[in-house]
Amino acid sequence: MRQTGIEIFYWLQNWSDDQTSCFAKAKDLGFDAVEISLTSGPDTPIAQMRSELDHLGLSVYASLGLPLEKDITSPDASVRQSGIEYLKRCVEAASRLGSPILGGLPHVPWLHFPAERDLRPFRERSAVAMREVAQVASDQGITLCIELINRFETYICNTVEQGLEYLALVDHPAVKLQLDTYHMSMEEDDLAAAILAAGPKLGHFHCAESNRKLPGGGQVRWGVVKQALDATAYRGPLVIECFPNPNAETGRTVNTWRPLVKDPDADLARALALLRREVA
């Protein structure tokens, strides 16, 4: 059975909030794991997180968003180098935390779109930088997972086809794809076909509905998702990622303009039960 996890910002108001404050809630609801973000990069309080994880018996998965001033796609070589060194330190932080992956957007700043018409050089510079970081990740036993998110949030890779092309540019086994059913519902013609195309390159998996609600509140056919994941032999976690509060910084950043849950904990418990029943 695949582990089930929750992206911890489901409950938090601000990106700067203490992520460990919700670990016990995740455990109480029955999750096997939490996904945390290295919101402060290498300065994230890893020891505090690790202590609470050990106390609760939770697994952990780490993600990040690449700061604009550390942009590894930048035409400025000094900015790229700063980003490479930053990512190497984040890999070391993920290793100390005990996460097997560093996912999210290590390859491009979130919500940043260059003015240039030709975006190929940006992808190529990103891939070259990621190859260098991947060697450090490999040495630390960490897999870098490139999340494929929708066109309104990034330009680098939106589909599995594009993601595989990007992996070919990186050309390192420590870099894989991270899929999210919300983003896939926007960008892919067929969710199952996309999962099958990712195949052994799939390193991490997010679960959310086509409307970014919790699993069970939209149009995703979870039985079909399970069949595709089984066919690829994916044994990683199923992590719910939803930002349901329109009045929180976390929700507004992703354009949550209406409440996506009625009772956060009760609705989440139902979504977890659905994943355990139909996908895990």
Among residues 147, 153, 188, 209, the one annotated as catalytic is 147
Owner of token pair 């390193």: 203
Task: Provide the pairing of β-strand 4-7 with 33-37.
Answer: parallel
CB of 258 closer than 8 Å to CB of 211? no
3-state secondary structure of 28: helix
Query: What is the 3-state secondary structure of 58-80?
Result: CEEEEEEECCHHHCCCCCCHHHH
84/181 Cα distance (integer angstroms): 29
In 3D, which of 203, 206, 207, 181 has the Cα closest to residue 194? 181
How many Cα atoms within 13 Å fall on the side-chain side of residue 74? 17
138/141 Cα distance (integer angstroms): 5
Cα torsion at 185, 187, 132, 237 (round to 10°)? Answer: 10
CB of 259 closer than 8 Å to CB of 245? yes
197/86 Cα distance (integer angstroms): 31
CA angle 121, 77, 144 (to 5 degrees): 70
3-state secondary structure of 187: helix
Is 147 designated active site? yes
Is 241 designated active site? yes
- The set of residues, in sequence order, having a beta carbon less than 8 Å from that of 168 and lying 6+ positions away, is none
CB of 245 closer than 8 Å to CB of 238? no
Please identify every residue annotated as catalytic: 147, 241
